[in-house]
Amino acid sequence: MTAIRIPLQVQPMAELEWAQALEQVFQPPTAASPAESRHAWIHRAEESDVLRLYRKIRSSRPVPAPWWLRAVASGRLASRADGFRIEDRIHAFLSERSGWEFVPWASDGESGYWEFLPSEIAVSGHGFPTTVSATDRHDGWIDVLPAHVGLPPQPVAVAGPAGLAALVVEFEALR
């Protein structure tokens, strides 16, 4: 009798642990705000433990992670709580304006984002609405992606919630 060898695909434990850390258990599918969508281990565990695991797994390859964790790990943002505050301030401001909707699902590990729904209707063809998202791309922490069809344009860097408040009317006019 000859033995049959079946190749096994084994995921390293650190990668599995990270995937579980990002998993949004008990997340309402219709979270209406960033605060309602913070149910993963990375949102609840001791920040030092989250950073330790993130740095461990990131040392071998890039991994999905929310913008605020990348910013905290790089030393550009003081804490996870500061990241949450930025998201909450964006949400508080945009939720007071007509047409903006929070989208809780994003790429793996990322926080949600906000869409300006009237811009989606105005774009002909299969268009994408004006989108606001938090980012670690720059220290203003907010990017705006104008409404578009096809390949996305470069995001517009915004200087924090105050910058968003100053420019929101212009962003709403982009269609």
pLDDT digits (tens, 9 = 90+) for 39-67: 888 999 999 999 999 999 888 888 899 99
- What are the domain boundaries of the chain? 29-173
pLDDT digits (tens, 9 = 90+) for 66-116: 999 999 999 999 999 999 999 999 999 999 999 999 998 877 778 899 999
**Cα-based distances in Å from 148 to 75, 91, 128, 163:** 34, 23, 5, 22
What is the pLDDT confidence band of residue 12, given thresholds at 50, 70 and 90? low
Residues 129, 61: contact at Cβ < 8 Å? Answer: no
Name the residue among 109, 102, 59, 97 with its Cα closest to residue 173.
97
Burial of 136 (0-12, 13-18, 19+ CB in 10 A): buried
